[in-house]
Amino acid sequence: MSAPEVPGYRHVYSGKVRELYVADGDPNRLLIVATDRISAYDHVLASTVPDKGRVLTAMTLWWFERLADLVPNHVVSTDVPDAVRGRAMLCERLEMVQVECVARGYLTGSGLADYQATGAVCGIELPTGLVDGSRLPYPIFTPATKAQRGGHDQNVDLAYVERLVGPDVATELRDRTLAVYELGERIARERGIVLADTKLEFGRRPDGALVLADEVLTPDSSRFWPAEGWRPGTAPPSFDKQFVRDWLASPASGWDRASGEPPPPLPPDVVRRTRERYLEAYERLTGRRALDLSGLATG
Measured from the CB atom, the residue of 17 and 121 that comes closer to ligand PZK is 17
CB of 201 to ligand PZK, least distance (A): 6
Q: Give the N- to C-terminal CA distance of the chain in Å, as an integer.
A: 25
Distance between CA 152 and CA 69 in Å, rounded? 33
Q: At what angle do helices 52-66 and 268-286 cross, to 10 degrees?
A: 20
CB of 47 to ligand PZK, least distance (A): 20
48 C-beta neighbours (distance < 10 Å), count? 19
Instruction: Report whether 295 contacts 76 (CB < 8 A).
Output: no
Phi, psi of 160 (to 5 degrees): -65, -45
Alpha carbon distances (Å) from 224 to 153, 217, 271:
20, 9, 18
**Kind and range of the H or E element at 130?**
none
Measured from the CB atom, the residue of 114 and 201 that comes closer to ligand PZK is 201
CB of 28 to ligand PZK, least distance (A): 9
Q: Which residues of 251-265 are buried (b: 16+ CB within 10 A; e: fewer)?
A: eebebeeeeeeebee
Measured from the CB atom, the residue of 76 and 164 that comes closer to ligand PZK is 76
Distance between CA 236 and CA 243 in Å, rounded? 13
Distance between CA 86 and CA 291 in Å, rounded? 11
CB of 25 to ligand PZK, least distance (A): 17
Measured from the CB atom, the residue of 21 and 106 that comes closer to ligand PZK is 21
Question: 139: left (phi > 0), else alpha (psi -120 to 50), else beta?
Answer: beta
Distance between CA 73 and CA 58 in Å, rounded? 15
CB of 92 to ligand PZK, least distance (A): 6
The residues binding ligand PZK (CB under 6 A) are 13-15, 18-20, 30, 32, 74, 91, 93-94, 96, 203, 213-214
Q: Give the CB-nearest residue to ligand PZK.
A: 15
Measured from the CB atom, the residue of 88 and 281 that comes closer to ligand PZK is 88
CB of 93 to ligand PZK, least distance (A): 4
Measured from the CB atom, the residue of 35 and 110 that comes closer to ligand PZK is 35
Measured from the CB atom, the residue of 101 and 112 that comes closer to ligand PZK is 101
